[in-house]
Amino acid sequence: MKKKRSQNYSYTCKKFIKLLRIMKLVIFFLCVSLTHLSAHVYAQQALVNLKLENTSLIQILQEVEKQLKQDFFFSKEEINVKQKLSINFSKATLDEVVRTIFGPNYKYRIIDNVIVISPVKESPEEIKKITIRGKVMDKDSIPIPGVTIKIKETNLGVATDKEGKFSLTFPEMKNPTLVFTFIGMQKQEIPIQTQTMFLNVIMQEETKALDDVVVTGYATIRKESFTGTSTKVSKADLLKVSPHNVMKALAAFDPSFKLIQNNVMGSDPNTMPEYYIRGRSGTSELKELDRLTSDDVSEFALKNNPSAPIFILDGFEVDMEKVYDMDVNRIESVTILKDAAATAVYGSRAANGVIVIETSAPVAGEIRISYSGTASLTAPDLGSYNLLNAREALEAEYYAGLFESDTKDDGNAGGLINYANLYNNIIRGVDTDWISKPLQNEFNHKHYLYIDGGSESLRWGLDLNYQRKGGVMKGSYRNVSGAGITVDYRYKNLQIKNQATFNLMSSKNSPYGTFSNYVQMKPYLTPRNPETGNYYKIFSIYRNIRSSVSMPVYVTNPLYEASIDSFDKSKYKEFIDNLSVSWYINNYLLLKGTFSASFKLQDEDMYVDPSSGTFSNSDIYEKGTYKDGEIRTSKWNLNALLSYNRQLGKHNLNFTLGVEASETKSNSTYAYYEGFVEGAVPSPSNALMIKDEPTFQDSNTRRFGTYLQFNYTYNNIYLFDVSGRYDGSSAFGANKKMGTFWSFGAGINFHNYAFMQGVDFLNQFKIKATYGQTGKANFSPYQARTTYNMLYDAPYKDMWGMTLKALGNEDLMWEKVRKLNLGTEISLFQNTLSLNVDYYHEKTMDQVENISIPSSSGFSTYKGNVGEVLNEGVDIKINARIYSAKNWDVYLFANVNHNRNVITKIGDALKNYNEQIDEFFSKYSSDNTNSIYSTPFTKYEVGNSLSAIYGMESYGIDPATGDELYIKRDGTVTYTWSSAEQQCLGDSDPKMSGTCGLNLRWKNLTLYSTFSYRWGGQAYNNTLVAVENVNLEKYSGDRRILTDRWKQAGDQATLKSIKDRTYVTRPTSRFVQDDNTLTFNSFSLGYDLNRQLVQRWGLSMVRLQFNMEDIATFSSIKQERGTSYPFARTFNFSLNITL
C-alpha cells in the first residue's frame, strides 16, 4: 500500500514539474511577443516634433531615430539619402513621417524593432528575411568568441558565442554585406549571395604596425604624413624589456632617450631616475657646490631636473614619480616626441621633449577579465667589488706604518704586540664579509587585474594593481597599490568618458644606512661581542701611532646602527579624475572638452634614535632627532579643442584648434625636533625641544594658452605641418607673461610618386625637415617677483616687520629652444629592412640665471635671461627582418645616437660660480682629511659641455717621493695643486651610445634580448679616489690599496704613497679614464599556450614569460658600482591570463 502511494506521489510530482516547464515556456514566449508588440505599438504611437530646413535625408532620419528610439532600414540604392528636404513635424505620427519623407510610393513595416521601408508595389508577403549562420575561427581553426558581425551601413548585428558560432536574421535587401570585426584581427567584409547560407570565416591577425599613427596628446596623425620625429613603443615590447620600470624599458627603443646610470644609488627602489632626450639643455638651479655648502635649499630645487621631458598620461600632464610607480600592464603604448613639429603644440613645456602615454581603454562585449602577475627574485650584483681580506688589510696597515712608534723609547714593542694580537685573530679565522651583512636576495611580486565589458553605448573598465618593490639592502622597499575605474558612455555622436584613479605608496630607506659604510669596514673585526652576542657599538683598534703609549682608534659599527629604532620613510596618497566629453559632429569634425583634477598628499619622516653612535659626544638633550615633513599638491587642467580631419580628393587635412588653462598649487611644511629618551616611541610629541624653526614653502602657478596643429598631405606625397601655441604663465615677470612657440615642417613621400611604383624593392622613402621654437619653465616659482621675509621674532609696537629676501625681475621670461631636424625614413624589400636617420640642431637661449648687480642695491644678484647651450647630433635606427616563415620570425635591431653638447654663452652668474669653486678649494689645508675636497666640480666655460670633467693635469707619481706632480696650463711642472689651473679633462657623455638586440619567434615561443653600449666618454674613477684617500687607521677598501699604492723609492706606481694618510688628492687627470661600456640589459623568453587547449579550460589566453634584467656589464673602467646602494640583477616570472 505504501509502495503504491509512493508511486502515485512520484507520478504526480513528475506531472507537476512538466506542467511548470510548459508554463515557463509559455510565459517566456508571451514576454517576447509582448516586447515586440510593445515596440511595434510604441513606434506607431510615438509622436515626432521636428523642424529642419534644407537638410539631407540621412540627417533627418537620424533625428527621427533619436525620438522614436528605433532604426530605419532601407536600400540606399533605391533611395537617395543625400537629397535635401525641409520638414516641419508637430506631433506627427510614424505614418505621417514616412509619407512626408519617403513619399506615397513607399511604406513601412516594423520587423524585430526595426522600421523597414519598402516600395508600395511589394505586398507584405514579399518582404522576406535572410538568415545567415556561421562560425568564425582564426588561422589555426580555433573558434573566436566575441566577434562583432554587422550588416554594413546599418546597426543590425550580433556577436559570436563561446564556440565562435553566430546566427543573424534581417529583412531582405539588395546586395547586403556582413562586416566582421575583432580586436587584434583584420576587419573582413563578406557579400551575401543567397537567402540562406552558412559561412566559415577565417580571421587574420592585424598586421598593421602600432606606429602607423602618431599620438601627440592633442591629435592623432598618420605617421606616413607626419614630418615630426617620434618613437612609439607598445606594451608588449615594454614588458619584454622590463615588467617593472617604464623608464628603463624606453631606453632600449630610442637612442636619444638617455637614462643616466646612477653609480651612487644603484638599484635603490626609492631613487628617482635621471633622464633626458637629445642632450642636456640647461644648467640646474642647484649646482654641485650649492648642494654641499648652501643651507637654504628649496625642495623644488632638490628635485628639479632642468633637462627632463614632460609626461602626458591620457592627455593630461603628470609628474615623473607617477610614471615611475605606474604598472606597465596599464599602458597601451608610449610615444616619445622629440623635434619641434612634434612638441611645439605644448609650447612652454616642450623644450626637453614630450612622452605621451596611453592606457588601455574598455572594450565593448561580454565581460572580459585579464590578470597579469609577476614574481621576481632580485639579487645584489657585487661583481665590481674586489676588497681586501683580513690578512691583506693588516698587511696594508703595516706598509702604511701604522704600527711604527712615534718615539724610540719602547723600541716599537707596543706596535708589534698590537700587530700580533690582530694577526692572531686572523689566524683564528676572523675574516668578516662585511658587505654581505646588509644585503639580501629579495622576493618581490606584482599583480594587475583588469575587468572590462559593456555594450557599444556603455563601456566600463575596472583595474586593481599592487606592486611590492623590495630592495637588496635589508629593510628598504617601495610598495605601490592602486585602483581605477573607467566609464565610457556613447550616444549617437556623443561620447562621455570618465577615468578615476586612486593610488597609495609607502616606502622606507634601509635602516642599514649607506652601503659604503660596510665596504670600508676592517675585515678582521667581528660585528658581535662573542660573550654577549650583542652588536658592538664602537670598535676600539689599538696600534702604536700616536705616542709611545698606544691609543685606540674608534670606529662605529654600522650593524649596531641598523639594530636600533632609526628610520627614514615616506608615503603618499593620490587621487586623479579625468573627464572628457567628445561630440562627433560628423565624420570629420570633432568638438572635445577635457577636465582633470588631482590631489596628492605626501608625508616624510626621518628619525635618528638617541642611542645612535652619531650622538656619542652629544649632550643628553641633543640625542635623537626627528624630521617631519608634509607636502600637498593639487592640480587642475581644462582643455577644449575643435578637430577637423577629412580627405578631399587628393587633399588630406588634419586640423586642431584649442584652448587650455591649468593651475598647480603646492606647499611643503617641515618641522625639526631634538632630544628623545631611549626606548620612547619615536614621535614629535616625545621630543624635548624644537631644533629649528619649522619651514614652510608654497607655490601657486597658473598657465593659459591657445594652440593649433595642422597637418596637410597632397596625394600622400607632399607633406606639410604647422603648429603653434601662445602661452601665458604667472611664474614670469609682469612684462613677459606671454610667449609664442611655433614650428613648421615639410616632407616628401618619394615612394608614392607614379614613376616609383615600379620599384618593387622600395616600400618607403620619405625625407622631412622641421624647424621651430619651444620653451621651458622648470625653475622655482616666484623668481620673477620681489619677495620678503617676515620678522616674527622682532615685533615693533605690536606690528611685524619684514625684510627683502629676493629682488624680482618684471622682464623675466621663458627659456627658449630653437630646434632644427632633418630626417629620412627608408623601408626596403617588403619592409624587410628599415632605416631612420635624423640630424638635429637644438639651441637653448635665454637661460634663467643670476645676474650680478651693484651691492649698493642690497643684493648681489637677481634672476635674468642669459646663457646659451647647443645640442647637435644624429639619431640612427635600423630594423631588419632576417627570416620569416610560418613558424619562424627573426628580427635584429640597432640604434645609435651621437650628441655634441656645447656651452656657447654664459652670464656673470656662472662666471661667479666658477670663482666660488676656486675659493672653495683655496680653503683646503694639508691636514684636512675631508673627502669633499676630492670631488671634481663642473665648471662652466664657453666651448666645453655641461658634462665636462674638470681637474688639474697630472704628470704622474714621482717614483722618488710617492707624491703627485702636476702640469700647469703654461706647461710647467709643479707639486702644488691649484684650482685656478683646473681644465677640462674629459666628458662624461659618450661620443656614441645606443642599443641593439634580437627578436625571435618560433611557433608560440618568443625570445627577446637587448644590449646597450656607450663609447667615447670618460668617467672620474671614484673608486681610485677612495683607494688613494682611504684613512687606513679606521677603514679598509679595494685591493688596489695594497697592490697599486707607492711603497718605497723607485716604485713605478699609479697611486700615491701608502703612508700618506692626511693629504686629500684633489681633482686630477690620473682618475679620468675612458668609459666604454657594453651592458646586457634584458633577456626575455615567452610562450603562448595553445588557444584550443586554453579554451577547454574556459580561458581566452594564457601566456608565460621569463625575464632577466641588468644581467651583466663589461666596462673599460674598473670601479665600484653602486657605492651607496648596490646594483642588482632581477629575475622575473610572469603569468598573463584572459578569461
pLDDT digits (tens, 9 = 90+) for 50-73: 888 888 887 888 788 777 777 777
In a domain, 371, yes or no: no
In a shared domain, residues 133 and 118: no
- DSSP-assigned states of every residue in 179-226: EEE-TTB--EEEE--SSEEEEEEEPPBP-S-GGGEEE-SS-EEEGGG-
Mean pLDDT over all residues of the chain? 84
What is the model's pLDDT at position 549? 46
Residues 94 and 69 in one domain: yes
Half-sphere exposure of 3 (CA within 13 A, CB side): 0
Shared domain check, 104 and 77: yes
Q: What is the pLDDT of residue 568?
A: 93
- pLDDT recorded at residue 36: 43
Please return the burial class of 216, using the count of CB atoms within 10 Å of its CB with bins 0-12, 13-18 and 19+: buried
Look at residue 156 and give its three-state secondary structure: coil
**One domain for residues 108 and 44:** yes
Q: Do 146 and 115 fall within a single domain?
A: no
Q: Are residues 142 and 96 in the same domain?
A: no
CB atoms within 10 A of CB 222: 16
- Residue 91 resides in a domain: yes
Phi, psi of 791 (to 5 degrees): -100, 75
* Shared-domain flag, residues 118 and 177: no
Q: Residue 181 sits in which domain range?
A: 129-202
**In a domain? residue 913:** no
Enumerate residues 6+ apart whose C-beta is below 8 A from 363: 183, 452, 453, 459
Please say whether the beta carbons of 1045 and 1056 come within 8 A.
Answer: yes
Spacing of C-alpha 12 from chain mean position: 71
Secondary element (H or E) of residue 440: none
Give yes or no: residues 35 and 96 share one domain: yes
The CATH code of the domain that includes 58 is 3.55.50.30
pLDDT at 1085: 95
CA distances from residue 195 to 179, 192, 550 in whole angstroms, order as listed: 17, 8, 109
pLDDT on residue 858:
56
Number of domains in the chain: 2
Distance CA 494, CA 38 (A): 28
Task: Provide the 3-class DSSP secondary structure of residue 329.
Answer: helix
Give yes or no for a contact between 841 and 872, defined as CB atoms under 8 angstroms apart: yes
CA 463/CA 484 separation, integer angstroms: 5
Residue 608 lies in a domain: no
Whether 83 is covered by a domain: the verdict is: yes
Last-in-domain residue among 174, 202, 230: 202
The residue out of 202, 237, 255 marking a domain boundary is: 202
Give kind and range of the element (H or E) at residue 382: none
C-alpha distances (whole Å) from 660 to each of 438, 695, 721, 722 are 50, 34, 21, 19
Long-range contacts of 119-126 (CB under 8 A, 24+ apart): 119/78
**Does residue 195 sit within a domain?**
yes
Cell numbers linked to 955: 704628470
Which grid cell sits at 697?
614653502
Q: What share of the chain is helix, strand, coil (3-state, %, to 5)?
A: 20, 45, 35
pLDDT score, position 851: 59
Supply φ then ψ for residue 942, to 5 degrees. -60, 130
Question: Which regions in the chain score pLDDT beneath 70?
Answer: 1-46, 75-77, 111-113, 121-128, 140, 155, 183-184, 194-196, 205-211, 285-304, 405-414, 544-550, 731-734, 777-797, 803-811, 849-865, 927
Q: Are residues 197 and 170 in the same domain?
A: yes
Q: Give the integer Cα–Cα distance in Å for 249 and 246.
A: 5
pTM of the full structure: 0.79
**How far from the centroid of its chain's Cα atoms is residue 450's Cα?**
21
Q: Supply angle C-alpha 229, 232, 233, rounded to 5.
A: 150
The answer to whether 137 and 202 are in contact (CB under 8 A) is yes
Inside any domain, residue 157: yes
Residue 1057: CA atoms inside 13 Å, Cβ hemisphere, count? 18
Return the pLDDT at 1039: 93
Rounded to whole angstroms, the Cα distance separating 719 from 710 reads: 11
Contact by Cβ (8 Å): 1016, 990:
yes
Residue 679: per-residue pLDDT: 79
Answer yes or no: do 102 and 31 share one domain: yes
Examine the fold and report which residue of 151, 179, 202 is the final residue of a domain before the chain moves on: 202
Q: Are 1131 and 441 in contact (CB under 8 A)?
A: no
| C-alpha torsion angle, residues 308, 309, 313, 318 (rounded to 10) | 40
User: Does residue 143 belong to any structural domain of this protein?
Assistant: yes
